[in-house]
Structure 1
Amino acid sequence: MKFSSSLKFNAVSEWWEEYIDYDNLKKKIYQLEKQQQSLSGSYQDLESNESTSLVGRQRHTDSVFIRLLDKELKKITLFYESQEEELLERLEKLEQEVQAQEEQGLEGDHYQDDFDDDDDDDESISRSPVGRRLSIGARRRRLSSTLSRNLPLIETDSTIQEGEALSPMSPASPRQHRHSISSDEGDMEDSYASLRGQGSLPRGPLGRLANMMNSVSSSMMPDTIWTAKSNYAYDTRLLYKRKITELFIALSSLRSYVEINYSGFRKILKKYDKVTYSELKDHYLHDVIENALPFTQPSKDRLNNAIDRLIDLYAKCVTKGNTSQARQHLKLTQRENIAWERDTVWRQMIAQERRGELSAAGGLGATLVKEPVPALLSIPTPLGTLRVTKRLLYLAIALLVFVVLLNVQVVDGREANRCFAILIFCTILWATEAIPLFVTSIMVPLLLVWLRVIRTSDGTHELSPQDATKFVFSIMFSPTIMLLIGGFTIASALSKTNIDRILITRVLSLAGTKPRTVLLAFMGVSCFASMWISNVAAPTLCFTLIKPILRNLPRKTSFAPCLILGIALAANIGGQSSPISSPQNLIALAAMDNPLDWGRWFAVALPVSAIQLLLIWGLLLASYRPSKAPDGEKEIEIRPIRATRESFTVKQYWVTFVCLATIALWCVAHAIEDYVGDMGVIAIIPILAFFSTGVLKKDDFEQFTWTIVFLAMGGIALGKGVTSSGLLDVMGDLIRDLVDGYSLYNVVLILSPIVLVISTFISHTIASVLLVPIAQEVGKGLGGNHQDLLIFITGLICSTGMGMPVSGFPNQTAATQEDELGELYLTNVDFLKNGIPASVIAMLVISTIGYLLMGAIGL
């Protein structure tokens, strides 16, 4: 969570204006960054005055930002000083009252004092974090306290003990349903219960014996105002319990106020140093912040000492000297107060943030009005109006086509005809996304089993539903799926330990300031990152890194859309570079008779990807001419990326070692398959290494993109269904007739554009699910065992469909990038003008150079 959001969630709402203005300081940092960049043009003679000019600019920026920090620090110091003085005075007054009450003993009369003095007390309480709520119910509590003198003495019941009343897990505790700070009746009941015993006693004979022993021991000691059982003693202890609790919450809130503001100064200074290349953090934090009143050690000691004194007072007045129990009671009350604050002020906002209902621009407090999905048609019904949306229409069409195909003999064989209906039905749902893609995939095994599509291995008769279920689920969780999960694990470990960012920033720091070299560097980094952390996360990371560059570019420069589109196209190319970089590669591997090891995959994919990257880089340079400024008179210079100064930790070295070892084993998997079995078994190594050593946690495992896993599983199941039902044999006969007389390379040239067009308009993964079985059957029809080559080409080309904004995750992410004014950097014209030629270039490279390399490795 960003610190600005964390600050809103954890701040005391009544003190909101007194916290560090983190958002405003962050905006000022970006303004100073722009000023710093603009001032660079005023220093022309860098040969003789380079050091002086750079130092002068930095000093100017530092002085401006220091003045802003000093203003915030002064505000925080003044507020803290007034709060500390007030709270410490209240503490001293409370200690004097307790001492006076103790001296008066059982003969005092605090009732009238409570009415007279609490008016002043309420005024001071109202300034505390919970004061507004406490002062509202103060008179009701005083009235209850006065009336309680006339109530009969309540005897202690052995079945209702203090431990039960105060336990946060007890179902009988009214505080679990009514916060003690806001509920007068619940507070009264809890307080009476807490003043009668010191712990839970066993029931039955042992409980009665313990009660009897307590009574004997109590009778031997003289009663005091803190131990007596009279109504007056109960009311006295209840009064001081309330006062101590209120002051404890106020002091704890002040201590939290100090900690949050210190974190705010540390975070904002770190961001300032990172953006402006300064070194202000250590100096200002240690020499200025830590010497200011709220952050000095004596101030912290005074607060901690005041809290300890309150705990001692609570132990004396409420828990009969038990300090441990007093601390437990006060912390419980503090947690309830925090829960109240979150429930009434922040919890709803957090829930909205998680559901995406808050505006990204306005942040918390700016509610995003969600536009309803437009309806194509509204039909009134007795149960209400039926809104026919586009998705509902697609779903209805898919169901209609499915029912028709089930009842019309389209292909020979009952099982083959039913499988054809399932194939068309799923294809329509996947292409239109009438329901989520992974839901369609999960539906595949259900349809295969219920429609009795699966046949025996010899194809003589259909399997029973029990046998078909075992068969379908056994092939769905295959070694290929385990390889996919292993890839997720490696990607998560690299991201969580920050290795990806460290390596990427170090590479980009060498890119220089020329637009063409910066573009090539980012495209190379995006492509390489997509090989290991998926082509979903890689462009997102790169888009984060280019934000400082985009902020300092002239308005309407062509370099911004050029850079964003280049990153997206490179990420698509990276999706074909390694077996785990995208699901379509794994689907292709699963369909091969002799799956490739990583070494042979790299022998083809890496040269092909490098050539594609260079050609598309040249295309973007020719199309955008990014070196020219908007006025066309001078070349723009890019602010260089600064390499991170972080050094590798032991954990990062461990992650790097495991990742490299796993990849090395994958590269030689065929040579050691007698020992390791399959690449899917090797994928277990990083899972064990990272989760068992604490590098990754259970939450990381839960955050894997399981929708992709189920999408791939459904695709594998459908492919096996097509084969088992006999539909593939029927398709094979038709395909053999179509390709009869064509050479292998001519088939490649015919198949490649078909795959490219389909993968441009639907998901790359879904395209591979549909087209890989066709490529497999085409290869069998040619003879000579070339199906693995066609499967490999199909899998690679599925990643090159990038001519539309919806073509693949990288394009979708790039299409949403906005400038500071909320305007999109890219339009549909950018994708059509550059994405389609890039797709054609990538396809031609695969069908020519890739084809030759595949022949060289024996396909």
Structure 2
Amino acid sequence: MKFSSSLKFNAVSEWWDEYIAYDALKKCIYHLEKQQHAHDHHYPDLESNEQSNLLGEDDSSKTDALFIPLLDRELKKIVLFYEQQKNELIEDFNDLEKDVEFQETLGLQGGAHYEDYEDGDEDDDESISSPRSPEGARRSLSRHRKTSSAGRQPRPSTDLSPAQRRTSISSVEELDENHPSIGRGTLGRLSRGLSNLRGSLISTASGGADLEQDHTIWNARSDYAYDTRLLYKRRITTLYISFTNLRSYVEVNYSGFRKAIKKYDKVTESALKDRYLHDAVEVAAPFTQAEKDVLNDAVNRLVEIYTKCISHGDKAMARQQLRLHQRESIAWERDTVWRQMIGRERRGEGAVHDLSGATLVHGSESALADIPTPVGKFRITKRRIAMLSAVAVLVLLLNVPILQEQAPNRCLAILSFCTVLWATEAIPLFVTSMFVPFLLVVLRVICDAEGVQLSPPKATKYVFSVMFSPTIMLLIGGFTISSALSKTNIDRILITRVLNLAGTRPSTVLLTFMGVSCFASMWISNVAAPTLCFTLIRPILRTLPPGSAFGPCLILAIALAANIGGQSSPISSPQNLIALQNMDPALDWASWFAVALPVSAVSIVLIWILLLISYKPARSPDGEGDIEIRAIRPTNEPFTAKQYWVTFVCLVTIGLWCFAHMIEDYLGDMGVIALIPVVAFFSTGVLKKDDFDNFMWTIVFLAMGGIALGKGVESSGLLEILHEIIERIVDGYTLYPVVLILSPIVLIVSTFISHTIASILLCPIAAAVGKSLPGNYSNLLVFITGLICSAGMGMPVSGFPNQTAATQENELGELYLTNIDFLKNGVPASIIATLVVSTLGFLLMQIVGV
């Protein structure tokens, strides 16, 4: 979580304006960076339209002179607020100690005036029983304390009537319901239990008072003692929460100063952090060890008082209960914010995207028409039209015998139904995939080797057995490697070190970023790789002169390169795994790399040349000279033992994948090898349960549905029928003309729908076409289809990298890219990548023997 978000959710809501203005400081840092870079390279200052003369080249002292007063202002604000809060709390704490001593002196003799207190102090009692926050509770209890110290202590009589006793317990339960820092009903349950015990004891003792002669106010069982303890429990708990909140306030603000100055040093190449923290922050009142000792001592003394007054000498119980109240107070503070965020997501407000980049839900989808019905208006939207169309296609094809045999005809209906839903994205893609096994079983599409339809129990076992295939395990193994590389920061370390070598020439920086984006997409998926790269280029984008073409050129280049990287390794994208699933036998990693790596490298270079010609990114906006790019500074952190372990396991796993066919007699399939990183990382604590929960399970279920559909097409006999039709269509064509016919079809389909869905639909067709050709080139055509699916990148919605690039904004909230950028550059880039696959890739496949 970013620190700005962490600050938001760890702050006391009532004190929000008194915390360090971290976001404002960050904006000032970026403004100083822009001024510094503009002066160094003689760019005009954006605000004054003049050349900045505030900052000298390689001189951080002038930026320090501008930034330190901002820090001083925040520090002064925090010190004043801390002193005010601390003094109030210390005063309340001292009053609490005096009241505890007075109560001990008074003992059980104060019950005589309890009825007077109930009749005369209703206002005070109401003020105590309805605080809405710890701060409000503390103020109301302070008022009550002053009243009590004047001689109006709660002094119940032990001979209260049953009605009066019920009134007392009722007020306690109301107090429990209204107080935010204590769990709802906690004191109510406690009061009911003690009330029953107390009632039984008093009813069996003559007079009731003689029974308690040996008890103190802190352990007696009378109504007066019980209600007194509840009052002091509330006061102690409220003060404890206030002190711990103030202690947290100090810690969060210290972290804020450290984070802000660290970012300032990194951006402006200064060395202010250690000096300012030592000379200014750590000597200020809230952050000194003496002040920390004051707060810690008050907290510890409150635990002691709670131990004596409430927990009958059990200090461990006292500490446990107070911490529980503290946690519940924090949860109450955050409850509204979290509920708003979660409720917004559950209501579907704002676009929700699946991991393949396709928009699934639009909370603000406009209605095409509203039809009044007896139960309200029925909204007609594009999504509902698409859903109704898919259902209509399914019902129509189930009732119209297009094919003679029942099972293939029903399978065609299911295939058409899923194709409409996948193409229109009327419902989430993985949900459509979950329709597949259901429909295959219910409609009895699965057949045995003789063509006899399987019964639903047998069909169920077959469908679910093929859904979790070695290909799915390979996908999970890829997710594990990606998560481990990201969590241990290996990806960022390697990428920043490579980018540091790129220098400052725009063309070189552009090509380097494209290579890094492509390589990262091979191992951490083309979902995470562009996001990481877009984060790394932020310092470059902030320091570009206004109107520079390098910004949009760089963003588009990263997206296109990430798409190309999606074809470079078997685990870089789901479409590659779908292609492997449709190969017989499956291709080993060494053969895949022998084809995909040269194809990707040539595509990257050609697309780089295209972008240089189209954007001319090196030229300055005024047309005079070239711009100079700020270099990316590498991280100086050395590799840790955990990072060496992750690197070792990843290299071993990839090596075994490359030679899977040679060792299949020992390790079986590549899916078994995929278990190695799963076991190695989760058993050693590199990854946790939460990391496993965060895997891209929507992609897993999407792929499982695609595999089930493919097996259904094969088992039902539909594939054989398609094979005969395709054989007649390609009759007379040799292999390469078929490649040239198939390539543009795959490109067009993958441009307008998800790459993964395109592979699910087209790879079985390519396999059938390959089997129709003399020599059985099924694997070759499936391989080409899988590679070209990643090349469909001509539209903003063509894959996740494009979707992410299309949302990148500058500091003014303006988008870097438009649809024209994609049409002008994305479409030619897609054509170039497709031609490379169908020419160079085809030759390499022939050489490798695919």
1:495 is the counterpart of 2:486: yes
> Tell me, which stretches of 5 or more residues in structure 2 are unaligned?
44-54, 205-209, 352-361
Please report how far the alpha carbon of residue 187 of structure 1 lies from its aligned counterpart in structure 2 after TM superposition: 5.3
1:132 is the counterpart of 2:136: yes
Instruction: Give 2:260's aligned amino acid.
Output: I
Looking at structure 1, the residues matched to 143 and 509 of structure 2 have their Cα atoms a distance apart, in angstroms, of 70
TM-score w.r.t. structure 1 length?
0.87
1:427-480 Cα offsets, whole Å, 9 max, x none, are: 111111122111111111122222222221133x22222222222211111111
Please, which of 138, 160, 169 is the counterpart of residue 152 of structure 1? 160
Aligned length: 811
Corresponding position of 1:685: 676
Looking at structure 2, the residues matched to 738 and 183 of structure 1 have their Cα atoms a distance apart, in angstroms, of 73
Instruction: Give 2:134's aligned amino acid.
Output: V
Please, which of 449, 452, 455 is the counterpart of residue 457 of structure 1? 449
1:765-821 Cα offsets, whole Å, 9 max, x none, are: 111111111111111111212111111111111110111111111111111111122
1:145-200 Cα offsets, whole Å, 9 max, x none, are: 7584476289xx9xxxx9xx9xxxxxx999996646589997587469679999xx
Please report how far the alpha carbon of residue 331 of structure 1 lies from its aligned counterpart in structure 2 after TM superposition: 2.6
Which one is further off, 513-522 or 263-272? 263-272
The secondary structure found in structure 2 opposite 1:291 is: coil
Looking at structure 2, the residues matched to 598 and 692 of structure 1 have their Cα atoms a distance apart, in angstroms, of 26
> Superposition pairs for residues 423-822 of structure 1, below 5 Å?
423-459=415-451, 461-822=452-813
Which one is further off, 607-616 or 121-130? 121-130
The secondary structure found in structure 2 opposite 1:788 is: helix
Q: 1:126 to 1:720 in 2, by over 3 A?
A: closer
After superposition, the CA RMSD in angstroms is 3.7
Q: 1:175 to 1:795 in 2, by over 3 A?
A: farther
Corresponding position of 1:267: 259
Please, which of 787, 791, 815 is the counterpart of residue 824 of structure 1? 815
Q: 1:87 to 1:435 in 2, by over 3 A?
A: closer
Please report how far the alpha carbon of residue 839 of structure 1 lies from its aligned counterpart in structure 2 after TM superposition: 0.8
The secondary structure found in structure 2 opposite 1:57 is: coil
Looking at structure 1, the residues matched to 363 and 456 of structure 2 have their Cα atoms a distance apart, in angstroms, of 45
Please report how far the alpha carbon of residue 827 of structure 1 lies from its aligned counterpart in structure 2 after TM superposition: 1.1
Which one is further off, 508-517 or 189-198? 189-198
TM-score w.r.t. structure 2 length?
0.88
CA contact (8 A) 1:192 1:234 kept: no
Please report how far the alpha carbon of residue 740 of structure 1 lies from its aligned counterpart in structure 2 after TM superposition: 1.6
Please report how far the alpha carbon of residue 140 of structure 1 lies from its aligned counterpart in structure 2 after TM superposition: 9.7
CA contact (8 A) 1:126 1:135 kept: no
Instruction: Give 1:95's aligned amino acid.
Output: E
Corresponding position of 2:96: 94
1:192-249 Cα offsets, whole Å, 9 max, x none, are: 9679999xxxxxxxx99xxx9xxxxx98994434344455544544443333333222
Corresponding position of 2:837: 846
Q: 1:632 to 1:55 in 2, by over 3 A?
A: closer
Corresponding position of 2:48: none
Looking at structure 1, the residues matched to 760 and 337 of structure 2 have their Cα atoms a distance apart, in angstroms, of 45
Instruction: Give 1:626's aligned amino acid.
Output: P
Corresponding position of 1:49: none
Corresponding position of 1:215: none
1:81 is the counterpart of 2:89: no
CA contact (8 A) 1:565 1:814 kept: yes
Please report how far the alpha carbon of residue 503 of structure 1 lies from its aligned counterpart in structure 2 after TM superposition: 0.9
Looking at structure 1, the residues matched to 13 and 596 of structure 2 have their Cα atoms a distance apart, in angstroms, of 57
The secondary structure found in structure 2 opposite 1:387 is: strand
Corresponding position of 2:40: 40
The secondary structure found in structure 2 opposite 1:688 is: helix
1:301-325 Cα offsets, whole Å, 9 max, x none, are: 1111112222222223333333333
CA contact (8 A) 1:560 1:825 kept: yes
Corresponding position of 2:389: 397
The secondary structure found in structure 2 opposite 1:778 is: helix
CA contact (8 A) 1:805 1:811 kept: yes
Please, which of 206, 216, 223 is the counterpart of residue 224 of structure 1? 216
Which one is further off, 823-832 or 734-743? 734-743
CA contact (8 A) 1:735 1:777 kept: yes
CA contact (8 A) 2:481 2:677 kept: yes
Corresponding position of 2:51: none
Looking at structure 2, the residues matched to 671 and 843 of structure 1 have their Cα atoms a distance apart, in angstroms, of 32
Instruction: Give 1:98's aligned amino acid.
Output: V
Please report how far the alpha carbon of residue 594 of structure 1 lies from its aligned counterpart in structure 2 after TM superposition: 1.6
Please report how far the alpha carbon of residue 339 of structure 1 lies from its aligned counterpart in structure 2 after TM superposition: 3.2
Please report how far the alpha carbon of residue 561 of structure 1 lies from its aligned counterpart in structure 2 after TM superposition: 1.1
Corresponding position of 2:50: none
1:577-629 Cα offsets, whole Å, 9 max, x none, are: 00011111111111111211111110000001000000000000000000112
Instruction: Give 1:387's aligned amino acid.
Output: R
Instruction: Give 2:18's aligned amino acid.
Output: E
Corresponding position of 1:365: none
Corresponding position of 1:203: none
CA contact (8 A) 2:129 2:178 kept: no
The secondary structure found in structure 2 opposite 1:380 is: strand
Q: 1:753 to 1:71 in 2, by over 3 A?
A: same
CA contact (8 A) 2:158 2:222 kept: no
> Superposition pairs for residues 113-132 of structure 1, below 5 Å?
130-132=134-136
Corresponding position of 1:300: 292
Instruction: Give 1:244's aligned amino acid.
Output: I
Looking at structure 2, the residues matched to 74 and 262 of structure 1 have their Cα atoms a distance apart, in angstroms, of 13
Corresponding position of 2:12: 12
CA contact (8 A) 1:39 1:57 kept: no
Which one is further off, 520-529 or 633-642? 633-642
> Superposition pairs for residues 145-224 of structure 1, below 5 Å?
146=154, 148-149=156-157, 152=160, 179=179, 190=190, 222-224=214-216
Corresponding position of 1:311: 303
Please report how far the alpha carbon of residue 134 of structure 1 lies from its aligned counterpart in structure 2 after TM superposition: 5.5
The secondary structure found in structure 2 opposite 1:740 is: coil
Q: 1:188 to 1:831 in 2, by over 3 A?
A: closer
Looking at structure 2, the residues matched to 289 and 117 of structure 1 have their Cα atoms a distance apart, in angstroms, of 47
Q: 1:837 to 1:82 in 2, by over 3 A?
A: same
1:260-293 Cα offsets, whole Å, 9 max, x none, are: 1112112212222222222222232234322222
Corresponding position of 2:61: 59
Instruction: Give 1:639's aligned amino acid.
Output: R
Q: 1:500 to 1:175 in 2, by over 3 A?
A: farther
1:337 is the counterpart of 2:329: yes
CA contact (8 A) 1:174 1:186 kept: no
Looking at structure 2, the residues matched to 107 and 147 of structure 1 have their Cα atoms a distance apart, in angstroms, of 8
Instruction: Give 2:22's aligned amino acid.
Output: Y
CA contact (8 A) 2:521 2:572 kept: yes
Please report how far the alpha carbon of residue 833 of structure 1 lies from its aligned counterpart in structure 2 after TM superposition: 0.8
CA contact (8 A) 2:286 2:292 kept: yes
Looking at structure 2, the residues matched to 145 and 105 of structure 1 have their Cα atoms a distance apart, in angstroms, of 11
Corresponding position of 2:3: 3
1:411 is the counterpart of 2:398: no
Looking at structure 2, the residues matched to 560 and 101 of structure 1 have their Cα atoms a distance apart, in angstroms, of 72
Looking at structure 1, the residues matched to 230 and 9 of structure 2 have their Cα atoms a distance apart, in angstroms, of 32
CA contact (8 A) 1:441 1:714 kept: yes
Looking at structure 2, the residues matched to 125 and 14 of structure 1 have their Cα atoms a distance apart, in angstroms, of 20
CA contact (8 A) 1:608 1:845 kept: yes
Corresponding position of 2:368: 376
Looking at structure 1, the residues matched to 184 and 654 of structure 2 have their Cα atoms a distance apart, in angstroms, of 64
Q: 1:135 to 1:70 in 2, by over 3 A?
A: closer
Looking at structure 2, the residues matched to 785 and 90 of structure 1 have their Cα atoms a distance apart, in angstroms, of 87
The secondary structure found in structure 2 opposite 1:288 is: helix
1:641-689 Cα offsets, whole Å, 9 max, x none, are: 1111222111111111111110000000001010000100000000001
Q: 1:772 to 1:332 in 2, by over 3 A?
A: closer
Looking at structure 2, the residues matched to 247 and 293 of structure 1 have their Cα atoms a distance apart, in angstroms, of 21
